[in-house]
């Protein structure tokens, strides 16, 4: 019966790990260095994988055509077999017969990985050649005697992450199983629930104590999966609970600004645009204005693929704020992007009689003082800038709307400081990096999300190809033909200047070579992040005006640069770039009506991961598909800086595979905060939230 489950006493799980049988001061010390300080930490030190007794095969029982299998045995010998391709060969014995394990290449690496007499569990697909062998098997190192434990038990065996310091104190997988079993025995009947009975029942979850027992010592595969489901649900539920409170704090607890009217200037901007807004842009604008009319603060994410027209939507929102008597600020992560936004905004607004200023680092003292005075007195209605906007001394007269571009590049505290420059201003954050849905429910789960889902009409798909050094002459001929047709070209390098540490081509040296030797008949410019602000702005303006044919640059052009006449993007050392910058750089071309091209130049032999990235780039221009692949390759921890968000890190759940658990946990968490925001009817949830996540509360309140 689910009924009245115990609520665990804080003293049980929060006891020092040294209280567990088998853990003395020295073991406690090394465990503490690995983040295991309490009994709870030990119980949540989870297996990295399992070996199932039913999947372990005796060598004598292997048959032709058998698929993937695991063999457990002792290392008898190993060595290198020389030949055209040297091989590292290891002989394993499992008391029934010998198995040969073979690795081709990297022999000097493998020769130091093993020692005679140790026990291994090797997995792979066997083949027969004078005896059974497995090429490039996966393997797990086991403790002495652990093979006997595996062979003689019917249970599923947990394998734990370990390190050299842990192994020094016999905390291998076998050692961890012993101390964790002792911890479970000592807490039996004393691990209470942290979730309410109705949440457990509705989602078909194991009780917490059963889950912790089964995740370490599963009865069978079903119990193992259910145990992981429960622990993943817990982690995602409390993560989403923090987001729910963050959203509630902004949406219902704070009084914001209402912008009741759409004035003549907003209508005039849209009417006189040199292009028509897409249906998707109109839809997103309606969503944004609906928020702006409300007396509650807007907290909305605007996402769209590269070139989908987010900036003009944000500009319309900023004009609405200004026409209602407020100031609007746009913060960009780099000076060149801020400068591009300033040029774009000024071009659209100069005929509307609106004052736009640019505030970035490195400006002359006299000019900066003048700008600060204009911002403070309200003469400056549109303020475009970088981190300079959040520095001390920048005071707004009446800040009503904050737009943050490429928002994942800013930390949570930076966004909070800018928000505090006004009285609960509306916040619109933008990203040109489409976000996979499961990631958006964690990183931006507290924001309303608007997505521009279509590209402006007339855009043609960008042709993307991969080329190596053997095709460089062909590439230069193609560039020459495009320039002679009146088009412009970007050539992007990974470095500004030559480096002794990294064997990569650089922009500065190649700019000289390209303008003097390869394209002396063309106008070739140079742009990189080390140029002063005015120099960068000047180079970009000359390129936009068509007075440069080729722009040699670094990734400073990754976002925000809009030159419709540019039709070719060449990315040197493309194998060294991640998917997101590759996609962003490609998005700098294809902005006019002409067919455009992206050439990914590679050198050497790209890694399998790099080959996968390049293959994706040639197969699709869909930013959402690219983002999904990027998430698969890099994992959620690196996709965006999740540590910037002031929320607990996910260590158990996998956003690639646990989407359904995430959706259930989110539904329960948000519903709970709506129904019982003080958690008076859910004391177990409240106590765990306070006990485990108190240190996250301050940052959780930042949108």
Do residue 419 and residue 482 come from a single domain? no
Is there a domain that residue 40 lies in? no
Residues 255 and 296 sit within 8 Å (Cβ to Cβ) = yes
Largest CA distance in the chain: 88
Chain segment 206-231, per-residue pLDDT in tens? 999 999 999 999 988 899 999 999 99
Mean pLDDT of 188-214: 94
Is there a domain that residue 37 lies in? no
**Nearest alpha-carbon partner for 87 in 74, 106, 60:** 106
Is there a domain that residue 28 lies in? no
Confidence of residue 703 (pLDDT cuts 50, 70, 90): very low
For the chain, the distance separating the N- and C-terminal CA atoms, rounded to the nearest angstrom, is 41
Confidence of residue 643 (pLDDT cuts 50, 70, 90): very low
Give the Cβ contact number of residue 665 at 10 Å: 25
The span from the CA of 450 to the CA of 436, in Å, is 14
Least confident interval from 156-165, 524-533, 686-695: 686-695
Do residue 477 and residue 613 come from a single domain? yes
Do residue 604 and residue 519 come from a single domain? yes
In sequence order, what DSSP letters do the residues of 246-275 get, joined into one string? HHHIIIIIS---------HHHHHHHHT-SS
Do residue 410 and residue 511 come from a single domain? no
Mean pLDDT of 562-566: 86
Which residue's entry shows tokens 């409300």?
294
Give the Cβ contact number of residue 146 at 10 Å: 23
Q: In 62-137, which ranges are E strands?
A: 69-81, 87-93, 98-104, 119-124, 127-128, 132-135
> What pLDDT, on a 0 to 100 scale, did the predictor assign at position 499?
55
Mean pLDDT of 109-115: 85
- What residues have CB less than 8 Å from 254, skipping those under 6 apart? 296, 297, 424
Q: Could you say which of 159, 188, 211 is where a domain stops?
A: 159
In sequence order, what DSSP letters do the residues of 638-691 get, joined into one string? HHTTGGGGSSPPPSS--TTT-HHHHHHHHHHHHHHHHH-TT-TT-HHHHHHHHH
Residue 445: pLDDT over 70: no
Do residue 483 and residue 603 come from a single domain? yes
Do residue 420 and residue 364 come from a single domain? yes
Is there a domain that residue 287 lies in? yes
What's the token pair of residue 465?
């190809």
> What pLDDT, on a 0 to 100 scale, did the predictor assign at position 434?
67
Which residue's entry shows tokens 């407020």?
326
Q: Is 17 exposed, middle or buried (0-12, 13-18, 19+ CB in 10 A)?
A: buried
Q: Could you say which of 605, 620, 635 is where a domain stops?
A: 620
Domain containing 558: what range? 463-620
> What pLDDT, on a 0 to 100 scale, did the predictor assign at position 106?
77
Mean pLDDT of 35-46: 94
Percent of the chain with pLDDT over 90: 40
Residue 152: pLDDT over 60: no
Chain segment 383-421, per-residue pLDDT in tens? 999 888 888 788 899 999 999 887 555 555 565 666 677
Backbone angles phi, psi at 650, to 5 degrees: -85, 120
How far is residue 137 from each of residues 85, 158, 235, 609, measured CA to CA in Å?
18, 20, 33, 20
> What pLDDT, on a 0 to 100 scale, did the predictor assign at position 397?
92
Residues 492 and 582 sit within 8 Å (Cβ to Cβ) = no
Residue 153: pLDDT over 80: no
Mean pLDDT of 342-351: 81
What's the token pair of residue 169?
């104190």
Residues 382 and 357 sit within 8 Å (Cβ to Cβ) = yes
The span from the CA of 112 to the CA of 363, in Å, is 57
Mean pLDDT of 360-370: 87
Is there a domain that residue 165 lies in? no
How far is residue 311 from each of residues 118, 326, 344, 560, measured CA to CA in Å?
61, 19, 9, 9
Residues 341 and 405 sit within 8 Å (Cβ to Cβ) = yes
What's the token pair of residue 334?
């780099």
Residue 156: pLDDT over 70: yes
Mean pLDDT of 358-365: 85
Query: What is the domain-level CATH number for residue 424?
Result: 3.40.50.300
Report the domain count for the chain: 3
> What pLDDT, on a 0 to 100 scale, did the predictor assign at position 195?
93
How far is residue 671 from each of residues 200, 296, 665, 667, 681, measured CA to CA in Å?
15, 20, 10, 6, 13
Confidence of residue 570 (pLDDT cuts 50, 70, 90): very high
Residues 632 and 579 sit within 8 Å (Cβ to Cβ) = no
In sequence order, what DSSP letters do the residues of 513-555 get, joined into one string? HIIIII-TTS-EEEE-TTS-HHHHHHHHHHHHTT--SEEEE-G
Which residue's entry shows tokens 């292997």?
62
Question: Which 8-state DSSP code applies to residue 38?
Answer: B
Residue 342: pLDDT over 70: yes
> What pLDDT, on a 0 to 100 scale, did the predictor assign at position 4?
37
Give the Cβ contact number of residue 467 at 10 Å: 16
Which is it for strands 49-52 and 566-571: parallel, antiparallel or unpaired?
A: unpaired
Chain segment 43-73, per-residue pLDDT in tens? 999 999 887 766 788 999 998 877 878 898 9
Residue 115: pLDDT over 80: yes
Is there a domain that residue 370 lies in? yes
Mean pLDDT of 649-655: 80
Least confident interval from 28-37, 188-197, 429-438: 429-438
Least confident interval from 25-39, 422-436, 517-531, 624-638: 624-638
The span from the CA of 693 to the CA of 327, in Å, is 37
Do residue 490 and residue 408 come from a single domain? no
Chain segment 232-243, per-residue pLDDT in tens? 999 999 988 888
**Nearest alpha-carbon partner for 456 in 590, 320, 317, 302:** 590
Do residue 427 and residue 469 come from a single domain? no
- Cα Rg of the chain (Å, integer): 30
Do residue 576 and residue 484 come from a single domain? yes
Coil, strand or helix at 71: strand
- Write down the mean pLDDT value for the chain: 84
Confidence of residue 5 (pLDDT cuts 50, 70, 90): very low
The span from the CA of 560 to the CA of 77, in Å, is 60
Least confident interval from 88-92, 184-188, 213-217, 245-249: 245-249
Do residue 350 and residue 493 come from a single domain? no
Q: Could you say which of 386, 411, 431 is where a domain stops?
A: 431
User: Of how many residues is the chain composed?
Assistant: 703
The span from the CA of 311 to the CA of 277, in Å, is 12
Residue 578: pLDDT over 90: no
Residues 592 and 565 sit within 8 Å (Cβ to Cβ) = yes
Do residue 352 and residue 485 come from a single domain? no
> What pLDDT, on a 0 to 100 scale, did the predictor assign at position 123?
84
Residues 151 and 56 sit within 8 Å (Cβ to Cβ) = yes
Q: Which value, to the nearest 10 degrees, does the dihedral of the CA atoms of residues 476, 481, 483, 487 take?
A: -120
The span from the CA of 118 to the CA of 480, in Å, is 63
Is there a domain that residue 655 lies in? no
Do residue 367 and residue 498 come from a single domain? no
> What pLDDT, on a 0 to 100 scale, did the predictor assign at position 642?
43
Is there a domain that residue 83 lies in? yes
Query: What is the domain-level CATH number for residue 81?
Result: 2.40.50.140
């Amino acid at each position: 019966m689910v009924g009245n489950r115990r609520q665990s006493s804080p003293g049980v799980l929060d006891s020092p790990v040294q209280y567990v049988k088998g853990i003395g001061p020295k073991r406690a010390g090394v465990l503490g260095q690995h983040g295991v300080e309490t009994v709870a930490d030990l119980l949540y030190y989870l297996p990295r994988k399992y070996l199932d007794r039913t999947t372990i095969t005796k060598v004598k029982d292997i048959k032709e055509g058998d698929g993937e299998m695991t063999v457990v045995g002792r290392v008898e010998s190993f060595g290198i077999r020389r030949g055209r391709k040297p091989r590292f060969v290891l002989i394993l014995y499992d008391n029934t017969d010998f198995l040969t394990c073979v690795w081709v290449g990297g022999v000097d690496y493998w020769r130091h990985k093993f020692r005679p007499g140790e026990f291994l569990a090797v997995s792979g697909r066997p083949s027969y050649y004078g005896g059974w062998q497995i090429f490039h098997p996966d393997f797990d190192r086991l403790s002495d005697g652990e093979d006997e434990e595996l062979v003689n038990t019917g249970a599923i065996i947990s394998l734990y992450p370990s390190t050299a310091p842990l192994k020094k104190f016999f905390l291998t997988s076998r050692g961890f199983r012993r101390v964790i079993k002792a911890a479970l025995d000592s807490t039996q009947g004393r691990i209470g629930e942290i979730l309410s009975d109705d949440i457990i029942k509705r989602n078909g979850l194991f009780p917490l104590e059963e889950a912790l027992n089964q995740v370490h010592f599963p009865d069978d595969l079903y119990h193992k999966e259910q145990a992981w489901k429960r622990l993943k649900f817990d982690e995602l539920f409390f993560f989403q609970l923090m987001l729910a409170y963050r959203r509630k704090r902004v949406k219902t607890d704070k009084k914001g600004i209402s912008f009741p009217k759409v004035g003549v200037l907003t209508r005039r901007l849209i009417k006189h645009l040199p292009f028509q807004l897409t249906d998707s842009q109109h839809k997103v604008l309606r969503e944004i204005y609906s928020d702006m009319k409300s007396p509650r603060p807007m907290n909305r994410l605007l996402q769209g693929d590269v070139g989908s027209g987010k900036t003009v939507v944000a500009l319309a929102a900023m004009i609405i704020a200004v026409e209602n008597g407020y100031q609007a600020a746009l913060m960009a992560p780099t000076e060149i992007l801020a400068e591009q936004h300033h040029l774009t905004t000024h071009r659209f607004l100069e005929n509307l009689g609106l004052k736009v200023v640019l505030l970035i680092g490195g400006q002359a003292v006299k000019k900066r003082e003048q700008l600060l005075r204009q911002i403070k007195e309200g003469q400056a209605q549109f303020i475009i800038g970088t981190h300079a906007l959040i520095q001390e001394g920048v005071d707004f007269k009446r800040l009503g709307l904050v737009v943050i571009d490429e928002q994942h590049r800013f930390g949570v505290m930076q966004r909070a400081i800018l928000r505090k420059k006004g009285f609960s201003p509306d916040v619109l954050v933008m990203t040109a990096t489409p976000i996979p849905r499961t990631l958006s429910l964690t990183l931006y789960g507290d924001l309303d999300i608007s997505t521009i889902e279509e590209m402006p009409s007339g855009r043609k798909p960008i042709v993307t190809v991969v080329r190596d050094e053997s095709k460089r002459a062909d590439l230069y001929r193609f560039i020459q033909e495009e320039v002679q047709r009146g088009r412009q070209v970007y050539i992007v390098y990974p470095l500004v200047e030559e480096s002794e540490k990294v064997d990569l081509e650089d922009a500065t040296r190649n700019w000289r070579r390209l303008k003097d030797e390869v394209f002396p008949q063309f106008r070739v410019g140079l742009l990189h992040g080390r140029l002063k602000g005015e120099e960068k702005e000047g180079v970009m303006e000359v390129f936009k005006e068509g007075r440069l044919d080729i722009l040699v640059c670094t990734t400073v052009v990754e976002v925000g640069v809009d030159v419709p006449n540019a039709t070719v993007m060449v990315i040197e050392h493309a194998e060294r770039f991640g998917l997101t910058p590759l996609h962003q750089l490609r998005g700098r071309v294809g902005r006019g009506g002409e067919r455009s091209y992206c050439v990914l130049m590679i050198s050497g032999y790209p890694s399998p991961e790099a080959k996968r990235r390049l293959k994706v780039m040639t197969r699709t221009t869909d930013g959402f598909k690219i983002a999904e692949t990027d998430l698969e390759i890099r994992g959620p921890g690196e996709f965006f800086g999740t540590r910037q968000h002031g929320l607990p890190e996910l260590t158990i759940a996998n956003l690639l595979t646990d989407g359904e658990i995430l959706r259930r946990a989110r539904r329960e968490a948000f519903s709970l905060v709506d129904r019982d925001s003080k958690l008076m009817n859910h004391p177990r949830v409240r106590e765990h939230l306070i006990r485990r996540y108190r240190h996250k509360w301050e940052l959780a309140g930042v949108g």
